[in-house]
Amino acid sequence: MIDLPEKPWSVGDSFETERGLTYTFDGVRWLSDGHLASADGHGHDDLASKIDLEELQVEVDALATTREAGRWKVVSTQAVRPGEVNFLTTSMSLADNAMTVSDTDIDGKVHGWANLEVGDFVEVVQETVGVRNVGSYGLFKITADNGGTGMRMLELTLDQGQGDLTNESNVFIKVFHTNNDLDLAELDERYAIKNHYHDARYAQKSHSHGTGRRFRYTTSNSPNSGYFFVNQYDAYFSFTDLNGTTRRMTRSPDFSWPSNYMMTVWNMDGELCWAADMRPGSNYSSASMKLYINSIKYNKGLVSGQEYDTTVQGYW
């Protein structure tokens, strides 16, 4: 966490962070002398650098009031222990989420969640291995505060984010309140990690920009949000995909297309993994999008938990 100088701030005030960046106040915001170029480069996951994150944190601190901030380890159970946090979904791109976070963070700091309010924001950033890179991130608004003993349970709605958190990884979490004079659109613009670069090593590689809708594969025919499943006879899709787009058919009557249609599944490298000829009848349901398979034409195996882009002719 970066501690800004105490207010009031004057033009020309400056401070230096642990990473060696110097910030100077220009009368409106804190500007750094950071240099974001690096020979390390990164892949097409639009990962931010830690210096990006540090500059962002200074911007947000200057524009908003931090309620709490610290580091926690992501776990798969809501029965969190000290230093742990659980999310209803590890996807940082779905519209709705929930967070159960221990009052005590990894570093042993106890958080009282003083003055926390519905409408405050929660920033979540997962750090990856390495000096400069950070991974998945999300910016959420608190829609409900369910309290808790030794923990805090918050319901969240997405403002923006990308990627998926990894269990047992560490995340930086900040809860902050926007000041009355803050333009949220300005904050969104500053929060979005844009203008990322690729060095020559990555430019030489072919990588897919994706097509259709993105889901994770599951072995259950009752897929959770963001997941899909196929067997010999049927395909099941959750209503909402990993990008937060929702497609559902929950009302009768069923109908039939004039002929069979096609479905394909592609991995993140743009490789076709699965294809089928689908039966023409629809199937309205309140649980998931269920489609009927006529015959599987191509199957290289789908891996549980892995992300895939899917196309379904006539549906998406």
> At how many degrees (to 10) do helices 184-191 and 50-63 cross?
170
The pLDDT of residue 205 is: 33
Which parts of the chain sit beneath pLDDT 50? 34-53, 130-134, 181-183, 185-210
Taking a C-beta distance cutoff of 8 angstroms, is the pair 234, 290 a contact? yes
**pLDDT for the residue 30:** 65
Please provide residue 268's backbone torsions phi and psi, each rounded to the nearest 5 degrees.
-75, -10
Global pTM exceeds 0.85? no
Query: What is the SS3 assignment for 60?
Result: helix
User: CB of 213 within 8 A of CB of 309?
Assistant: yes
The tens digit of pLDDT for each residue in 237-294 reads: 999 888 778 889 999 999 998 999 999 999 988 899 999 999 999 988 988 999 999 9
pLDDT of residue 132: 38
> Cα 92 to chain center, whole Å?
2
Parse the chain into domains and list their residue ranges: 46-196, 213-312
Q: What is the pLDDT of residue 14?
A: 81
Using an 8 Å Cβ cutoff, are 214 and 268 in contact? no
Q: What's the CA gap between 57 and 51, in Å, rounded?
A: 10
Distance CA 13, CA 19 (A): 18
Residue-wise pLDDT tens digits, 95-112: 899 999 999 999 899 999
Share of the chain above pLDDT 70, in %: 71
Residue 225 phi, psi (nearest 5)? -55, 130
